[in-house]
Structure 1
């Protein structure tokens, strides 16, 4: 089957679509629909964890799934379409789309650049592009959370181990490894305030609101 070259316009369109999809602040929008501003309550973050603290676990799950899909869908579509000369080009395009989806979530223009921390969206990218890494990192996240009940510690551990699992499970894919380093650095940067609280012993454990508004 003859391969098809990706045009610059298709590349740009895919990247812009990924950024736009990633930038949709579902946590904020759901909070607004429920009459609260998530940015002013709890940790003031628009992610699923803070939504859970304010609105309950059911809405946290909704936000988690939606944020996950923001990373999964654009990468999955690129892989499915396979408009490329070779697999390396497909991987590069998919990684760019995934990275811009994460950027969109973390620095959403709709909230003046104040977005989430990108863990759920990054997980969506991994599930589509690096499923073996996704599987093992989910196990790590759940294990650490079971021991600590602190979401940020679980997420930080996953970010630190991401490059290692990428290297071990996809040794012939240097693009994956470089992506894992970039995504990990971005996640750690977004968690810098959490890291300070962890070191100070003031990082709170997760407690869902019982209201489920």
Structure 2
């Protein structure tokens, strides 16, 4: 299964390199990474180019993770029936890595939150509603997108670990190593998201974080 894991990571990474925000910005004659926060993700695109651009970027970044996972699921559906969710998670994490560190853009991409949302939708749809409610609630109350993102990916981790050990994800419960591996990969999403928000965390703690606002374009 080691080879399958590597294939899943590679497929995910290649999909992750489709930088929706960067490509949309280029179609408008700008490099989104040279505006606003310098990030190529949804939030900066939304703030810089407006609602339409933000929505397109979110959907593109979200569904590239979904597509990568569906491809891996199709390829290995008959080989690893008791652990396909683990391969799906590898594909999802590969997508986040490709999004955050695209090789053709000098490894300067986004923060992977929209990609992680796609992973949640594809791997554990049950967690989607709660994560969405948490994110919207936090942003609506505080107007801090970064805080909403950090709490959302933390809630995601808690949910998938619980669902995993309740046997709701189809992983063979008699093989503890598989359940544990799934938990570790899930934790990687949360750790990556928090690490990518380290500057935001510092600003949140110092009271200098930018509140949500967007272009009227």
TM over 0.5: yes
Query: Is the alpha carbon distance of 1:78 and 1:168 closer, same or farther for their aligned partners in structure 2, counting shifts above 3 Å?
Result: same
RMSD: 1.8
* 1:170 counterpart (164, 167, 173): 164
Which of 115, 135, 143 pairs up with 2:137? 143
Distance 2:9 2:159 in 1: 26
Structure 2 residue 62 is matched with structure 1 residue 68: yes
Cα separation, 2, equivalents of 1:98 and 1:131: 14
TM-score, normalised to structure 1's length? Answer: 0.88
- Among 180, 187, 195, the residue aligned to 2:186: 180
Moved more, 91-100 or 102-111: 91-100
Q: Which residue of 1 aligns with 2:43?
A: 49
Question: Separation in 2 of the partners of 1:12 and 1:155?
Answer: 28
Name the structure 1 match of 2:29. Answer: 35
- 2-side partners of 1:178 and 1:7: how far apart? 16
**Runs (4+) off by over 3 Å:** 10-15
Whole-angstrom distance in 1 between the partners of 2:59 and 2:66 = 10
How many correspondences in the alignment? Answer: 204
Deviation at 1:54, TM superposition (A): 1.0
Q: Is the 8 A contact 1:106 1:116 kept in 2?
A: yes
Provide the secondary structure at the position in 1 that maps to 2:199. helix
Matched, 1:84 2:85: no
Q: 1:126-137 residue pairs with structure 2 within 5 A?
A: 126-137=120-131
- Deviation of 1:182 after TM superposition, in Å, equals 0.9
Q: Could you list the per-position Cα deviations for residues 74-99 of structure 1 after superposition, in whole angstroms to 9, with x for gaps in the alignment?
A: 112333451314321x1222111111
Please state how far the C-alpha of 1:161 moved relative to its aligned partner.
2.2
What is the aligned partner in structure 2 of residue 3 from structure 1? none
1:113-147 CA deviation, whole Å, 9 max, x = no partner? 11100000011111111111222111111111111
Q: What is the TM-score with the length of structure 2 in the denominator? A: 0.87
Q: Distance in 2 between matches of 1:111 and 1:85?
A: 35
Task: Point out where structure 2 has 5 or more consecutive residues left out of the alignment.
Answer: 172-178
* Secondary structure, counterpart of 1:87 in structure 2: coil
> What is the deviation of 1:12?
4.5
Q: Do the aligned partners of 1:76 and 1:129 also contact (CA within 8 Å) in 2?
A: no
Q: Distance in 2 between matches of 1:13 and 1:169?
A: 26
